[in-house]
Structure 1
Amino acid sequence: MLVGLGLGPGNPELLTLRAVRLLKEADTIFVPGRIAADLVAPYGDAVMLDFPMTDNEEKIRSCLEANAEKIAPVAQNGLAVFGILGDPNFFSTFSRLCGIIAERYPSIEYRTEPGISSITAFASAAHVPLTGGFVVSDGAEPSALIRLKARHPHEIIAGLKAEGYREFVLVERMFFPDMKVYRDAEIPKKSDYMSVLYARR
């Protein structure tokens, strides 16, 4: 098993309880650099992997493949934890790494565990309450949308389809014991107040 683990914005006190538990349980901890290595140090020695900051796709692919070969033997036989600053689903290389592992080692299961993202950390550090809708981008044109409190998802989806959105995922009561995840045609007409709808063009 491979777990992409969010380590938060860099302060060791902002690690989640789940992050601490997984770091202690890991057979091997992998990290992309020194800051992450320092964060996980109280819970285990980490193997630092090379993830170069470059636009050279050939070099990026080569490093991802080399890193996949280091992680795979651990993930095949035990628990490999890959600790990432912030959250592993926000602008991280974890999804690309998993794509390569899936190609080469399809039997390896992988998942992510959330960490405090730079977006929520920013709001706290800057004393800026994020209310109403807002856009998050790394400079690229936004291609996805997240709608909170999606109690009537079919009505919302009908409007989004008119705007060109085609892929939809609804998560109801996220991380509660009765959490449910629905995709596209599975999405119910009504959902809990604590529901989040994801849409992609």
Structure 2
Amino acid sequence: MLIGLGLGPGDPELLTLRAVRLLQEADKVFVPGRIARRLVAPYRDAEVLEFPMTDDLVSVRECMERNAEKIAPVASSGTAVLGILGDPNFFSTFSRLCEVLLVRHPGIECRTEPGISAITAFASVAGISLTEGFTVTDGGEPATRIMLKVRSPRETAARLRDEGYTTFILVERMFMDRMKVFRNGDLPEESDYMSILFARR
């Protein structure tokens, strides 16, 4: 198994308790650079992998293949952890690495553990409260929407379909007792106050 582990915004004290436990329990820990290695150093030694910042897709693919082959021997027989700044599901290279790994080694499971994202960390440092909707992009046009506290998910999804959205995932009571995940046609009429709806065009 390969776990993409969120390391938070840059302070070792902002790692979650679960992150520390997984670092200590892993058979081996990998990181994408010196900053990430410094973050995990209080808890575990780590091997640094090369993830070049480039728009050259050929170079990126070759890099992912090299890293996949370094991780595979550990992940195929035990637990490998790749520690990533911020959150591994938020503008991260982890999904690209998993795509390559699953093609070359389809028996290896990939999953993620969340970390404090740059967005929530920014709000704290800037001294602002994000109390209204906002857009986050990497410079491109947004293709997804995330909505909190959706009480009528089926009705909301029907409205979003008219705007071109086609994929929907609803999570109720995330990381709590009785957590539920609904997808597309399974969306309920009503949902818990503690709910998040994801929509993608």
TM-score by length of 2: 0.99
**Residue 18 of structure 1: aligned partner:** 18
1:179 and 2:189 correspond: no
**Residue 66 of structure 1: aligned partner:** 66
Rounded Cα–Cα distance in structure 2 between residues aligned with 1:141 and 1:27? 40
Q: 1:118-150: per-residue Cα shift (whole Å, max 9, x none)?
A: 000000000011011100001010000000001
**Residue 166 of structure 1: aligned partner:** 166
Shift, 1:102, TM fit: 0.8
Q: How big is the alpha-carbon RMSD for the aligned residues of Structure 1 and Structure 2?
A: 0.6
Q: 1:31-76: per-residue Cα shift (whole Å, max 9, x none)?
A: 0000000111122210100000111100000000000000011001
Alignment length, in residue pairs?
A: 201
SS at match of 1:53: coil
Structure 2: runs of 5 or more not aligned: none
**Residue 114 of structure 2: aligned partner:** 114
Rounded Cα–Cα distance in structure 2 between residues aligned with 1:143 and 1:173? 25
Rounded Cα–Cα distance in structure 2 between residues aligned with 1:178 and 1:117? 25
Q: Which residue type is aligned with residue 51 of structure 1? A: F
Rounded Cα–Cα distance in structure 2 between residues aligned with 1:113 and 1:150? 24
Rounded Cα–Cα distance in structure 1 between residues aligned with 2:184 and 2:64? 31
1:1-201 paired onto structure 2 within 5 Å: 1-201=1-201
Structure 1: runs of 5 or more not aligned: none
Rounded Cα–Cα distance in structure 1 between residues aligned with 2:6 and 2:50? 18
SS at match of 2:30: strand
Rounded Cα–Cα distance in structure 2 between residues aligned with 1:177 and 1:100? 34
Rounded Cα–Cα distance in structure 2 between residues aligned with 1:72 and 1:146? 33
Rounded Cα–Cα distance in structure 1 between residues aligned with 2:119 and 2:68? 28
Rounded Cα–Cα distance in structure 1 between residues aligned with 2:109 and 2:145? 27
Shift, 1:177, TM fit: 2.7
Percent of paired sites with the same residue: 67
Q: Which residue type is aligned with residue 12 of structure 1? A: P
CA contact (8 A) 2:4 2:81 kept: yes
Rounded Cα–Cα distance in structure 2 between residues aligned with 1:42 and 1:15? 11
TM-score by length of 1: 0.99
SS at match of 2:55: coil
The ranges of structure 1 where at least 4 consecutive aligned residues each deviate by more than 6 angstroms after the TM superposition are none
Q: Which residue type is aligned with residue 115 of structure 1? A: G
Q: Which residue type is aligned with residue 149 of structure 2? A: K
Q: Which residue type is aligned with residue 114 of structure 2? A: P
